[in-house]
Chain A
């Protein structure tokens, strides 16, 4: 399967680029950035100071290459340093606490939205001119909204002021202790409904619009006409002839948009005070916690790369041409 191997190689290159950017950026900034960063923390305890140094590679002896090497080594061992804002918690611990929440929420919501949006898009494209088309401008409006804005509006309408159906914030009810018991899990699910709903609504519009357009283009292809000429049942022509072919560009679009969807969702978490990466990120930015910021960047990047790889696998499963073709 040369295609998949090529894709993996590409992702390795991209990951390496992200790591290297992460390493060199503080050193490339105008002025002596390292000094500037250090000077933002005038009252550091010596151990925090050392933690920062380690993260920035200043304290390490040796040439730039040595520092780079030990940096890579650290990353591979999930050693992202010590968090400045949450001292003395190591960054990796903080990440381990928050990643599952974000993964569960964003992962499932994105997949649901993609699936629903694609299905609606199939029908909107097939029954072009039907009532689904009347929704188009509304969908565009929803798609153009920032995720966190919709979150604010929904919260205000459904949780804070107009109705009080949903919980206002957090990932679970206040007094509960995280654990695998039903009380906790049901509370967690209840708290994740509104955030998930926000993600689904906004991104669904985008997927539906995209699938509709691809379907319309695909329906103009000769093989769909041939399918009709063959007297096949409508359902078969829609799904096996039109949609299966339209799904491929749709998947590619999904891969490309994944970065934006994840980013938007993470920022949205802030509105809900959801215990995911978003809140961590906000804290890191506001307190200039560079080790944490860097680590979050790496984690998000790697997650998106892996998701893209999964999308590539699905494409291979669906498109026989790719399996034999040399593609980049």
Chain B
């Protein structure tokens, strides 16, 4: 055997700088929408926790001084006063806590019910499945608000507990359907069959094999249910069906409406609670979209892929041809804004590596 004596070509790329880090941290990997939603929601949770403690007045305190009625925001009352001299800011803080509390509790109960029903229906199959799904579908198609109205209307007391229970009773069907669909597809997968083969009992399989794989779905379901609960409770309170002596955000607006705040121009009475509801809802929707994007790679990539080398592309444009990395065309303002972004930093770094490799290859 003769070893060749020719000159072997030089090696490739052994002196190029190392590649950018491949594993992005878990927080950074979350889509920006989820991050924004989580931060906003976190703010509200914070307010809910400490709000009533730092409220300047007792929200139900009705000032006997007529001069203090229907005051615009001032130093003493940052968000003005109501018809009876109550401080709107204190009511708002109290309202955020109450509404958020209610939303979260309904979310927990309803999600627990959804998981229970959904997984059971999928696991049992057959007649039980059909029956449970029929019940869910009937609940889903009947409009929630009118049903809630008559449910609450007939109850002798309409306290917070009653409202929570009633809302939860109507909030589980949507999640149950979705979870059932997911469970069905997981149930047929190999690792569940393997668990069954090794003799794991039914409910252990459910608890330890199936449910852990549905966590993001359950999380999305929870967020959705909280959204529904807040919306429905605010609407119910606005009509006057819930306890009008506790200060939930909807109740504040109920009183504003019945005391003709609009006609009297007292915007500080109805705008803050409404804004609070809208912002809480936005936070939840953002969070939900983020969780959606986590689970559906196409949605997530749609946002990231829209840029190739800093140039926006339609998703259906022809594959771009770049024989060399094109220089960034950015205005100074964009460059300034980009300098704060970690994603931009990573992209720029990747581009520098590519350029270095390209010039290496040419030498």
Evaluate contact between A128 and B306: CB separation under 8 angstroms: yes
B residues less than 8 Å from A33 (CB atoms): 154, 156
Chain B CB within 8 A of A30 CB: yes
Chain A CB within 8 A of B271 CB: yes
The interface centre, meaning the residue of B36, B174, B281, B284 with most chain A CB atoms within 10 A of its CB, is B281
Q: How far is the CB of B280 from chain A (nearest CB, A)?
A: 8
Chain A CB within 8 A of B334 CB: no
Interface size for chain B: under 10, 10 to 19, 20 to 34, or 35 or more residues? 35 or more
Evaluate contact between B235 and A264: CB separation under 8 angstroms: yes
Interface string of A122-150 (1 = CB under 8 A from B): 00001111100100010011011110110
Chain B CB within 8 A of A247 CB: no
Binding site for B on A (CB under 8 A): 10-11, 13-14, 17-18, 21-22, 25-26, 29-31, 33, 36-37, 126-130, 133, 137, 140-141, 143-146, 148-149, 152-153, 155-156, 160-161, 168, 213, 216-217, 219-220, 224, 228, 234, 237, 256, 258-260, 262-264, 266-267, 270-271, 281-282, 285-286, 288, 290, 293-294, 296-297, 300-301, 304-305, 308, 328
Q: How far is the CB of B32 from chain A (nearest CB, A)?
A: 10
Q: How far is the CB of A228 from chain B (nearest CB, A)?
A: 6
Chain A CB within 8 A of B325 CB: no
Within 8 A of A (CB), among B108-134: 133-134
Q: List 9 A-B contacts (CB under 8 A).
A: A10-B141, A17-B138, A30-B155, A133-B306, A137-B282, A137-B286, A148-B253, A160-B263, A220-B298
Evaluate contact between A11 and B141: CB separation under 8 angstroms: yes
Residue in B closest to A299 when the chains form the complex, CB atoms: B146
A161 in complex: contacting residue of B36, B155, B265, B296, CB < 8 Å: B265
Known: A126-B315, A137-B282. 12 other contacts (CB 8 A): A33-B156, A126-B316, A137-B286, A141-B279, A145-B274, A146-B231, A146-B277, A152-B257, A156-B267, A228-B316, A270-B257, A271-B262
In the bound assembly, the distance between CA atoms of A237 and B267 in angstroms comes to 49
Evaluate contact between A26 and B138: CB separation under 8 angstroms: no
A residues less than 8 Å from B151 (CB atoms): 25
**A267-B238 contact in complex given A36-B156, A217-B299, A228-B316, C-beta closer than 8 Å:** yes
Evaluate contact between B282 and A149: CB separation under 8 angstroms: no
B36 in complex: contacting residue of A26, A137, A296, A297, CB < 8 Å: A137
Q: How far is the CB of A190 from chain B (nearest CB, A)?
A: 19
Chain A CB within 8 A of B270 CB: yes
Chain A CB within 8 A of B137 CB: yes
Evaluate contact between A217 and B146: CB separation under 8 angstroms: no
B residues less than 8 Å from A260 (CB atoms): 143-145, 231
A residues less than 8 Å from B145 (CB atoms): 259-260, 263-264, 266-267
Query: Closest 6 interchain pairs by CB?
Result: A144-B281, A129-B306, A263-B145, A259-B143, A149-B274, A145-B278
Residue in B closest to A288 when the chains form the complex, CB atoms: B153
Interface string of B226-242 (1 = CB under 8 A from A): 01000100110011110
Evaluate contact between B235 and A148: CB separation under 8 angstroms: yes
Chain A CB within 8 A of B81 CB: no
Q: How far is the CB of B148 from chain A (nearest CB, A)?
A: 9
A residues less than 8 Å from B315 (CB atoms): 126, 128, 216, 219
B residues less than 8 Å from A264 (CB atoms): 145, 231, 235
Interface string of B307-323 (1 = CB under 8 A from A): 10000111110000000
Evaluate contact between B265 and A160: CB separation under 8 angstroms: yes
**A148-B238 contact in complex given A129-B312, A153-B274, C-beta closer than 8 Å:** yes
A145 in complex: contacting residue of B156, B277, B312, B314, CB < 8 Å: B277
B residues less than 8 Å from A36 (CB atoms): 156
The interface centre, meaning the residue of A30, A126, A149 with most chain B CB atoms within 10 A of its CB, is A149
**A293-B149 contact in complex given A153-B271, A263-B235, C-beta closer than 8 Å:** yes
Q: How far is the CB of B57 from chain A (nearest CB, A)?
A: 24
Evaluate contact between A144 and B142: CB separation under 8 angstroms: no
**A213-B292 contact in complex given A14-B138, A156-B267, A296-B146, C-beta closer than 8 Å:** yes
In the bound assembly, the distance between CA atoms of A144 and B253 in angstroms comes to 16
Evaluate contact between A17 and B142: CB separation under 8 angstroms: yes
Binding site for A on B (CB under 8 A): 33, 36, 133-134, 137-138, 140-147, 149-151, 153-156, 174, 227, 231, 234-235, 238-241, 253, 257, 262-263, 265, 267, 270-271, 274, 277-282, 284-286, 289, 292, 296, 298-299, 302-303, 306-307, 312-316
Evaluate contact between B235 and A25: CB separation under 8 angstroms: no
Number of A-B contacts (CB under 8 A): 189
A residues less than 8 Å from B307 (CB atoms): 129
A residues less than 8 Å from B231 (CB atoms): 146, 260, 264
B154 in complex: contacting residue of A29, A271, A328, CB < 8 Å: A29
Q: How far is the CB of B172 from chain A (nearest CB, A)?
A: 15
In the bound assembly, the distance between CA atoms of A281 and B153 in angstroms comes to 12
B residues less than 8 Å from A224 (CB atoms): 316
**A140-B143 contact in complex given A10-B137, A149-B274, A213-B299, C-beta closer than 8 Å:** no
Q: How far is the CB of B165 from chain A (nearest CB, A)?
A: 12
Evaluate contact between B156 and A29: CB separation under 8 angstroms: yes
**A285-B241 contact in complex given A264-B235, A293-B150, C-beta closer than 8 Å:** yes
Evaluate contact between A304 and B150: CB separation under 8 angstroms: no
B141 in complex: contacting residue of A14, A22, A133, CB < 8 Å: A14
B residues less than 8 Å from A288 (CB atoms): 153
Q: How far is the CB of A315 from chain B (nearest CB, A)?
A: 15
B residues less than 8 Å from A234 (CB atoms): 316
In the bound assembly, the distance between CA atoms of A26 and B151 in angstroms comes to 9
B residues less than 8 Å from A128 (CB atoms): 302-303, 306, 314-315
Residue in A closest to B263 when the chains form the complex, CB atoms: A160
In the bound assembly, the distance between CA atoms of A155 and B264 in angstroms comes to 12
Evaluate contact between B257 and A263: CB separation under 8 angstroms: no
B134 in complex: contacting residue of A13, A29, A145, A148, CB < 8 Å: A13
B residues less than 8 Å from A294 (CB atoms): 150
**A263-B296 contact in complex given A13-B138, A126-B314, A140-B285, C-beta closer than 8 Å:** no
In the bound assembly, the distance between CA atoms of A128 and B153 in angstroms comes to 47
In the bound assembly, the distance between CA atoms of A285 and B134 in angstroms comes to 31
A residues less than 8 Å from B303 (CB atoms): 128-129
In the bound assembly, the distance between CA atoms of A293 and B143 in angstroms comes to 14
Evaluate contact between B146 and A141: CB separation under 8 angstroms: no
Evaluate contact between B278 and A144: CB separation under 8 angstroms: yes
Evaluate contact between A149 and B270: CB separation under 8 angstroms: yes
